[in-house]
Structures are given as structure tokens and as C-alpha cells.
Structure 1
Amino acid sequence: MRSEMRMIRVRERYGALLTASMSVLLVEAVLGGIGVAVWTQTWESPDLQYNLLNLALSLVLTAVLAVVLAVVGVVAITVASVALVIPLVQLAGWLGRAWWWIPVIAAAVSFPLVLGGLLLQNADFWWAFVLWLAAAAGWAVASLVVRRLLLPDRPRIGGGVMFGWVALYGTLAVVTASVLAGVGLWAGLAYEPPRISAERLAGTWSDGEGGTLVLGKDGRATATGMNMYDFYGAIEECTGTGSWSYAPGEGVWDQGVGVTVKGCDDGFFWTFYGTEEHPKLFAFIGDPDSQELYRLERRG
């Protein structure tokens, strides 16, 4: 009888439950997007500059992608609410009125779906563990908010009122997360290439395909089987000797090394990225706007 009454209450308030669930999932998606955006800024990557045309195209593509993601997002959170959140609340209600049933069930069900699935694909354990916790927490929080609408000993709250609460506190959470993200990136959380001195540049660098560049401590350079690219990306092999010089620049993104080799029409100018332990050199292949890179890594 108690289970039947719960089912009736869910059916009677289905619209309010759906509104609350979708609102919470939307806020969680925005917070997750902020987290992913900050996380990607910590990735090791070269600083590729855009020209005005590429920037304009990127803005257009971003706008189109935002519209597509908005439509897909609404569909996704609706499906998640109907297929995951509301059934979880009903299942927890059948097992008992204790609120902790919801996070327990969410964690247990998410384990084989997320953590188990990623581990079967040989994903990194800690990365899979974090995704499992995030999935279980997101599912549980939305379900706990929906559960609040079904408690018989609490004042009845409509879906519109709950939506207003979620919108208010969700906006505060998004603003807070955005500020913290900005402070974190400003404080040095974002990736920066290592500062490399002329002394550290000396040594042998390899492209991994048989081409090597030896930078001597005396300023001499020796290229063996190096690839050289013209503006259109055509390849010419470069083998010979010459000289090199370090350009410290005004900051870590501006530093580089210039190499001139006899027998090669054009010189090389390499920019740095990588880490302190594993620095890398790169030059553009052909037109810099293509953002294709020719990379060298230290050997030995």
C-alpha cells in the first residue's frame, strides 16, 4: 500500500519532478563544463596563434556548436531525468525513506556503467575513478532535490518554486565556480612551457623518424635527415652543419632557438613546449595557419 501511494504521488507530481530534475542537471552540466574548460587549460600544448580569419571561423563554429549542444543538452537532460533520476527516487522510496539510499544506489549502479566500463577499455584508474564519482554525485544530487518534492511531512513545493530555487543557487554556484576558475588560471594553474636556457638546449634532438638536430655548446648545429617544409608543406631533406642561437624572448611563450644550416634554403626557428623534465621543440609545417607541427624531442 505504501509503495502504491508513492507511485500515485510520483504520477501526480510528475511535471514538477521533471522540472526540478532537469533544472539541477542543467546547472550540473554548466559546472561540469567550467571544470572541463579549466582542466583543458592545464594540458601540455604549444601556444598556437590564430589569425583573424581563423578566429572569425572559430567564433562562427562555436556559435553553431553552442546551438547544437543546447538542443542536444535539453534532450539529454530530459532523457536522464526520465530514465535515471525519477526511477532512482522511486527505487529509494521502495527500499526506505532514509535519504542515504539515493547516493548508495547511485554509486552502486554507476560503478559497472562508468568505472567498470572505462577499466575494461584500459583507461587510467584514477581518471576512471574521478569520472565514476562525478557521475554518481551528479545523479544523486538531482535525485535528492526531486526527493524533497515527495516528502509527505514537508510543505508542498511546486515545480516552479523549486525551479526558482535551483536557478538562484545554481547561478550563485556557476558565478562562484567561474571566479575560482579565473583566479586559479591567473595564479598559474594553466599550462605554460618550461623556461629553457641555452645550456639546456645543447644536446641531440630527434623527430622520431630518423631526423636529428645536434646543438653544440659552442654554437654549432648539425642536422641529419631533418625535414624542411616550404609554405605549401612540401618536404625537403636537410643535412648539413651551421650555427644556432637562443632567443630568450620576453616570456616563456616567446622564447625560441634559431638554427641556420648550410645547404638548406631556409633556417629553422623552433619554439618550446613540453615540461621541465621533457622539453620539446616545434616548428610549423608549411603555412603557420595550418597549425601542423614538426616536433623534436631530446634524445639521451
Structure 2
Amino acid sequence: MEEKRSYGRILAVSVLVLWLEAMLAVVIGVLYALTRELPHFLGSTTAVMSLLAVTKVVALLGLVLSLLVVLPAVALSDLLGRVIGGRDAWGWVPPTVGVVLSPLAVWARAGGWETSTVLATWGVTTAVLSVAALLGRPRRKGLFGLVAKRGTAVVVGIGLLGSFLIWTEILPKYRPPSITRADVVGTWSDNRGGRLTFEADGRVTAGGISRPGLGDGTSDAVQGCSGSGTWTFTAGRRNTWGQRVGTSIPGCGLPDWRVAGKPGSPQLYRYVGDPDDGQLYELDKRG
């Protein structure tokens, strides 16, 4: 006799699969960010704590989606398979998930979402939830443990593979452009009226540059810094991450500027408040 469908097992496996898919997305996102300009959020305490909080939200969201979409889709696909083909078939699962999600797509479109955005979101969500439904529907003992082991192996494996590709420079990791003292000379702007002008003789002039806030130091003061002083350039000892541009302007108290951007289009930046918050104050070279 065929084993009876266990919807409790489907629910558990579905939540697990959705959580694993979310973790896979995080791993791929981190690897991608390492190849992009200024991945300043990586490695910070805040990012780690946020990720831990997100995992709980993902598990709760996975439970809700499994109850509202995955379980009804599996039941409906079984019914359609038996009525049309005489037996339940996995091929009915993806279109059934799409149908169950359709009311949400209609609601989003009525709420003002662009049609392209609605269709893309509906398609991705259908694919993600279909995987959870397909992996949860087999009538097999020990399914949860099997999915947990293999799913974790996939996530860890992709993380290790991506790390290896970045370490070997097959996927180039982002590094700030290498600049010289001559590259610093000129005017740099925050695109909001603030500017720093570096002279070749070591002088610097500031006009409306945002300065670290007074008091707790967690924000930038609204009042800008203006005045004249001197500047220095320090090349990175081991790599371009160590490049610094220091400014000494009476009454400003500006920390050293770090280098970002890309070759031919460098930027100077400093952290605003706690570096773990990842907020930057950036300057672009204008001449």
C-alpha cells in the first residue's frame, strides 16, 4: 500500500528548504559583494548581528509561506494529477504554486507595482517555493535529515568554491585603485557643496566639508568645516587598502581619508560614526 502523504513532514521540509535557499542567497550575495566596489558592510559586527536576526525572520517567513502556499499547492497538484492523469505527478507542482501566488501578484499590480517588477517577483517566488514543495512531497522516511545534510552541503560547498575562486583571483576581489601623491593634488567634492583642494606643495583648503559630530561622535555635524592647513599621503605598506590621505586643518579635526573607487576614477572616503554601521562620507575628484 502506498504510504500516506504526511503534510507535517512537507511543512518541516519546506521551511528547511526555504531557510537553506535564503542562506544560499546570502552566501552568493557576500561573494558577489567582495567583487564590487566598497563592500564596507562585510566583516562588521553589525552585519553579523543583522544576519543572525534575519535568519529568524527567514524561518518565520518560511513557515508562513509554507502554510499559505506550499501545502495548498502540493494538495492541489495531487488532486489535479489524480483527476487528469490518474495519479499525482510532480509536474503539476510549479504551475500550481504559480496559480496560488497569482492573487498576490494581482494585489501588487493593483497597488502600483510596475508590471515587469510584478512578473519578475512572481516568477522568482514561484521558482523558490516550487523547489520547497518538490523536495517536501516525496513519501520517504528520513526525508528531513536527508534534505538538511545535502542542502547544507550545497550551501557550504558553494561558499567554499566561491572563496577559492576569489582567493585564486579567478574571480577578482575588489581592491582600491593604487594612487600616488600626484593623484591626490586637485579638488575633491562631496557633490553637496563641500570640497577639499589639495596643492602640490602640501597645502589644503576645505570649504563646507562635513566634520565628525561633537559629543558622542556617532554622526556628522550639520555645520561644515572650512579653512586651510596641510596634508600628507601615505602609501599602503602591503596593499592598496592601507592608503591614507591625512589633513590637518585648525578647528576641523578630520580623520584620515581612505581610498576607494576604481582606476582612473578614485574616491576619498571616511566612516561616519561607528565603522560597523557602514556609513560613508565620500569625495569625488573634480579637477
TM-score scaled by length of structure 1: 0.68
Question: 1:115 offset after TM fit, Å?
Answer: 11
Question: 1:138 offset after TM fit, Å?
Answer: 1.8
Question: 1:212 offset after TM fit, Å?
Answer: 1.7
CA 236–27 in structure 1, closer or farther in 2 if over 3 Å, else same = closer
The correspondence for 2:145, drawn from 140, 164, 169, is 164
CA-atom RMSD, angstroms?
Answer: 4.3
Is 1:199 the counterpart of 2:182 in the alignment?
yes
- CA distance in structure 2 between the partners assigned to 1:247 and 1:37 by the alignment: 30
- CA distance in structure 2 between the partners assigned to 1:180 and 1:147 by the alignment: 30
The correspondence for 1:209, drawn from 182, 192, 199, is 192
Q: Secondary structure at the match of 2:242?
A: coil
Structure-to-structure mapping, 1:56-205, within 5 angstroms: 62=49, 66=52, 72-96=57-81, 97-106=88-97, 113=104, 117=108, 129=120, 134-149=124-139, 157-158=140-141, 161-186=142-167, 187=169, 189-205=172-188
Is 1:27 the counterpart of 2:15 in the alignment?
no
**Structure 2 match to 1:154:** none
**Structure 2 match to 1:239:** 227
- CA distance in structure 1 between the partners assigned to 2:54 and 2:244 by the alignment: 39
Q: Secondary structure at the match of 1:148?
A: coil
Letter in structure 1 aligned against 2:66:
S
Letter in structure 2 aligned against 1:252:
T
**Structure 1 match to 2:245:** 257
**Structure 2 match to 1:281:** 268
**Structure 1 match to 2:85:** none
Q: Is the 8 Å Cα contact of residues 40 and 278 (structure 2) preserved in structure 1?
A: no
Letter in structure 1 aligned against 2:25:
G
Aligned residues: 270
In structure 1, list runs of 5 or more residues that go unmatched: 1-8, 150-156
Letter in structure 2 aligned against 1:143:
A
In structure 2, list runs of 5 or more residues that go unmatched: 82-87
**Structure 1 match to 2:84:** none
- CA distance in structure 2 between the partners assigned to 1:286 and 1:277 by the alignment: 29
Question: 1:167 offset after TM fit, Å?
Answer: 2.2
Q: Is the 8 Å Cα contact of residues 115 and 132 (structure 1) preserved in structure 2?
A: no
- CA distance in structure 2 between the partners assigned to 1:290 and 1:172 by the alignment: 32
- CA distance in structure 1 between the partners assigned to 2:128 and 2:145 by the alignment: 19
Question: 1:179 offset after TM fit, Å?
Answer: 0.8
- CA distance in structure 1 between the partners assigned to 2:116 and 2:174 by the alignment: 21
- CA distance in structure 2 between the partners assigned to 1:147 and 1:191 by the alignment: 42
Question: 1:82 offset after TM fit, Å?
Answer: 2.0
Q: Secondary structure at the match of 1:193?
A: coil
Letter in structure 2 aligned against 1:35:
I
Q: Deviations over 1:147-198 (max 9, x none)?
A: 433xxxxxxx23xx21132123123212212212322443355443222233
CA 231–17 in structure 1, closer or farther in 2 if over 3 Å, else same = closer
CA 71–229 in structure 1, closer or farther in 2 if over 3 Å, else same = closer
